[in-house]
Amino acid sequence: MGLELYLDLLSQPCRAAYIFAKKNRIPFELRTVDLLKGQQVSKHFSKLNSLRKVPVLKDDDFVLTERLHGCRVQEKDAEPWRVGEGPDSNRCARHDSNIQA
């Protein structure tokens, strides 16, 4: 199983993680967690994140529950997209402000 993102696109942090993955062409399976239906408190999701919050990134046994860290992990998968661009502090700052907004 590849990368899975547990999201509700009504949630701003989820949209940030979703847009980041899409923009960087990172393949992932979208697992929708409908917050309005209370799916975040389901047994299955609570096992994944005891805080019962989205977004959650899952890569096999590896689970991350904070959007910023999730984006950082996705970044490593986006490496081919970044090759040749070199370090660019302005770009990094812009990127950080996008995913923290």
Ligand X SMILES: N[C@@H](CCC(=O)N[C@@H](CS)C(=O)NCC(=O)O)C(=O)O
Check residue 57 for interaction with ligand X (CB under 6 A): no
Number of residues that this document lists for the chain: 101
Cβ neighbours for 50, distance < 8 A, ≥ 6 positions apart: none
User: Is the CB of 26 or the CB of 71 nearer to ligand X?
Assistant: 71
Q: Which residue of 3, 7, 20, 53 would you call a contact of ligand X, by CB under 6 A?
A: 53
- The site for ligand X, by CB under 6 A, has a size of 11
The alpha carbon dihedral of 85, 86, 88, 93 has a sign of positive
Please name which of 15, 13, 54 lies closest in space to residue 35, comparing C-alpha atoms.
54
Counting contacts by CB under 6 A, is residue 63 touching ligand X?
no
Q: Give dist(CA 75, CA 48) in Å, integer.
A: 22
Q: Pick out residues in 2-41 that bind ligand X (CB under 6 A).
A: 11-13, 35, 40
Contact pick of 21, 54, 57, 64 for ligand X (by CB under 6 A): 54
58 near ligand X, rule: CB under 6 A: no
Residue matched to tokens 């910023």: 68
- Residues within the interface to ligand X (CB under 6 A): 11-13, 35, 40, 52-55, 66-67
